[in-house]
Amino acid sequence: MTKPKILIARAVFPEIIAKLAQHFEVETNQADVVWTAAELTAKLQGKVGAFVTSSDPLNAAVIAACPELKICASMAVGYNNFDVPAMTAAGILATNAPDVLTETTADFGFALLMATARRVSESEAYLRAGLWTKWSYDMFAGADIHGATLGIIGMGRIGQGIAKRGAHGFGMKVVYHNRSRLDAATETQCKARYVSKEELLRTADHIVLVVPYSKEAHHTIGAAELAQMKPSACLVNIARGGIVDDAALALALREKRIAAAGLDVYEGEPQVHPDLLTVSTVVLTPHIASASIPTRMAMANLAADNLIGYLLHKKAVTPLNVPVNIA
């Protein structure tokens, strides 16, 4: 019996390839070439399923050119690379990998916050450059985490994880802003208080962004919002590139209108706005918030389980849409 054909669009754990190869004829990309939309389209010809990441563009043009495709399973939680309405209309199921990365990403968000507030990267660069010759009272003096006010924009599972770490571990006062207010029980668990975006920007010592990307969320933090923040405040973005206006942020940092920033995501990544690279008070990491081995394996396994579940049993684990027009 001929196995259905699937594509794994980026390099992945060999164990995942072996798992999928039990059920499918698998084309891989262990060289980890980042394909253009045209190259991805060519690779998808004849495939009924695709294992993808957030860097793989599943836009309307790609979808229209791949009539045999039935499912695209992403190992990421974010899916702004998917044109979900076009996928639905074409009868293609979209799946992502929620929940399995929540705690690891919250860990990293807090790590990035601490590195930013305490000027870890800046001081390490100073030491490595051989510039440390003596102790001084104000050398790389940063901001306290304990007892400070933590503002979280986007209070989903990851935001709640960061709130709990701050409130319970560091005695922080937590305020949050979200599209909708959480229920009272969840607010109590997180020791968090709902406020307007304006109040959060004005009062928080540290602001962490955990907002899913959408057109409405584009530049949630821009020049106007940066102007409302305390000059001593730190901003951390572990959400998605485009949530922050990176050019406006670089300028605010250079002019010392806010104290520091920590970024794991960028507009147009993997390119980083060149102005950010010239500012010493920003901690920069290459989109690694979920990058622990156990978590990345769990993300990949969930994507594989979605492919197996849907193509063999018509039941995906974490569907994003209900496809129609399925042949």
Which residue of the set 10, 122, 269, 296 is catalytic?
269
Question: What are the strands, taking DSSP E only, across the chain?
Answer: 5-8, 25-27, 49-52, 71-74, 93-95, 149-153, 173-177, 192-194, 206-209, 234-237, 260-263, 282-284
Parent domain of 170 = 102-284
In the predicted model, is pLDDT for residue 223 greater than 70? Answer: yes
Q: Kindly indicate the confidence band of residue 1, based on its pLDDT and cuts at 50, 70 and 90.
A: confident
Residues 256 and 107 occupy one common structural domain? yes
Q: Is 218 noted as a catalytic residue in this protein?
A: no
Determine, yes or no, domain membership for 78. Answer: yes
**191 and 169 within one domain:** yes
Backbone angles phi and psi of 59, in degrees to 5: -95, 180
Answer positive or negative: Cα dihedral of 83, 85, 88, 90: negative
150 lies in the same domain as 176: yes
Query: Which of 177, 240, 273, 296 is the catalytic position?
Result: 240
Look up the pTM and report it. 0.92
126 with 219, same domain? yes
Q: What is the CATH number of the domain that holds 159?
A: 3.40.50.720
Based on the fold, state whether residues 116 and 91 are members of the same structural domain. no
Report yes or no on 163 lying in a domain.
yes
85 within domain boundaries: yes
Residues 26 and 67 in one domain: yes
pLDDT tens figures, 61-92:
999 999 999 999 999 998 989 999 999 999 99
Q: How many domains does the chain have?
A: 2
pLDDT range class, residue 154, cuts 50, 70, 90 = very high
240 is catalytic: yes
Looking at the structure, do residues 119 and 258 belong to the same domain, yes or no? yes
- 226-256 pLDDT, tens digit per residue, is 999 999 999 999 999 999 999 999 999 999 9
86 located within any domain: yes
Q: Is residue 261 part of a domain?
A: yes
DSSP code, position 134: S
Identified catalytic residue from 118, 119, 287, 296: 287
Structure tokens at 285: 């990491």
197 shares its domain with 76: no
Known catalytic membership, residue 202: no
- Strands (DSSP E) found in 53-131: 71-74, 93-95
